[in-house]
């Protein structure tokens, strides 16, 4: 098959990571793969390093006629079988491309927020030019169906993790030293791709304050874009936690960071599709606490692969933190089961294989035969 992926990539996020893993996996299975995006991003550079063809387009506007024309020309010139769009602007550009070429369009939906209830959004999600919506969890699927997308046009494909990344020799102790975490201090972390109000950093800090009063040796770590910004620094000061909380900002060594944690917390108040932070923490064998929103309950089976708490409830979150810090046997068992769950159900290989099967299903419905793997233009 020949597949074109479209994405806007202003910063490195879970969507970027999953898109790169999918492209690498498809290429490894012999398919022709190309990426359309704005040059200069981390994804753009890593795609080039992987030997994948790249098409430079401007993605700031959802309805960019120049970008849409370049995409349509690429589809027709290269004989693309499927276009796969991965974010909001890419979604719109993919629709324009599908309209111009008749090429099947797959759209990934990674958040469980309900789309805006306006004419533009309704047309965007319900249009016949979107052949399939890939929901990264059952929670996302349910939201899309409730929004009016026919159930047969929504497929659930869970995002994947590579368990081989999380090796026993990862040096979490060096990360602790680098960040100034006292030796032997219990460390509770929240890893998120960026700071945003719905991510629940305020809930985390409120819970951390309660834990620090009862277990004052505990330290807390925040990782992600803007977690070291002025807003977060002000929140930490206002909570009286300056000596307890480390603001690490963006890190590109998340496996090492996770190896340094005793507990990993994901506490958004809404919106999670299938949390990459939870999935990766489970893969790393770190005990997890998550709020019961979006697709979190599909990863965290309460009392089995982690602990679930209600959103916007700092008291419940602090109790869960204290429980795992004070009950190491429970924490270890949850971590073991969580890692096993990811290995068995959430591998990158499985995500690639199921996406490949979806593409084939679409082409069979269209009465089109996909180009055999390993033949046709490869972009190399």
The answer to whether residue 377 scores a pLDDT higher than 60 is: no
Using the 8-state DSSP alphabet, how is residue 41 labeled? Answer: S
pTM for the predicted model, two decimal places: 0.90
Beta bridge partners of 83: 4, 105
Beta bridge partners of 37: 56
- Coil vs helix vs strand at 78: helix
275 contacts 291 by C-beta, under 8 angstroms:
no
pLDDT digits (tens, 9 = 90+) for 80-99: 999 999 999 999 999 999 99
Mean pLDDT, residues 347-361:
97
Phi-psi region at 374: left, alpha or beta (left = phi > 0; alpha = psi -120 to 50): left
Cα–Cα distance measured from residue 17 to residue 31, given in angstroms and rounded to the nearest whole number: 19
224 contacts 246 by C-beta, under 8 angstroms:
no
pLDDT digits (tens, 9 = 90+) for 95-146: 999 999 999 999 999 999 999 999 989 999 999 999 999 999 999 999 999 9
The answer to whether residue 192 scores a pLDDT higher than 90 is: no
Could you give all domains of the chain from N- to C-terminal order, each with its CATH number?
2-159+347-365 (3.40.50.2000), 163-345 (3.40.50.2000)
Task: Look at residue 106 in the predicted model and tell me its pLDDT.
Answer: 98
């Amino acid at each position: 098959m020949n597949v074109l992926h479209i994405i806007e990539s202003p910063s490195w996020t879970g969507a970027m990571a999953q898109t790169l893993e999918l492209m690498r996996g498809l290429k490894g299975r012999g398919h022709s793969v190309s990426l359309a995006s704005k040059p200069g991003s981390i994804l753009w550079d890593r795609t080039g390093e992987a030997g994948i063809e790249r098409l430079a387009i401007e993605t700031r506007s959802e309805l960019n006629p120049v970008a849409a024309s370049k995409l349509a020309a690429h589809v027709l010139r290269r004989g693309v079988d499927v276009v796969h769009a991965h974010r909001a602007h890419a979604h719109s550009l993919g629709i324009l491309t599908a309209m111009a070429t008749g090429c099947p369009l797959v759209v990934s939906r990674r958040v469980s927020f309900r789309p805006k209830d306006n004419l533009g959004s309704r047309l965007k999600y319900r249009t016949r030019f979107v052949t399939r919506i890939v929901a990264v969890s059952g929670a996302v699927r349910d939201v899309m169906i409730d929004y009016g997308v026919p159930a047969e046009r929504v497929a659930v494909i869970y995002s994947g993790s590579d368990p081989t990344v999380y090796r026993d020799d990862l040096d979490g102790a060096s990360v602790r030293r680098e960040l100034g975490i006292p030796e032997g201090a219990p460390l509770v972390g929240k890893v998120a791709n960026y700071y945003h109000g719905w991510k629940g950093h305020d809930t985390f800090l409120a819970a951390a304050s309660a834990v620090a009063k009862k277990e004052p040796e505990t330290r807390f770590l925040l990782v992600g874009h803007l977690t070291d910004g002025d807003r977060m620094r002000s929140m930490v000061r206002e909570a009286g936690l300056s000596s307890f909380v480390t603001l690490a900002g963006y890190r590109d060594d998340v496996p090492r960071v996770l190896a340094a944690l005793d507990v990993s917390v994901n506490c958004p108040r809404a919106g999670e599709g299938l949390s990459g932070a939870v999935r990766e923490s489970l893969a790393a064998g770190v005990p997890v606490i998550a709020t019961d929103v979006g697709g979190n309950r599909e990863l965290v089976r309460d009392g089995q692969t982690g602990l679930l708490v209600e959103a916007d409830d700092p008291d419940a979150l602090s109790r869960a933190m204290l429980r795992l810090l004070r009950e190491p046997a429970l924490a270890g068992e949850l971590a073991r089961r969580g890692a096993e769950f990811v290995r068995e159900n959430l591998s990158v290989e499985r995500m690639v294989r199921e996406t490949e099967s979806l593409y084939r299903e679409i082409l069979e419905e269209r009465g089109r035969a996909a180009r055999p793997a390993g033949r046709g233009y490869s972009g190399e």
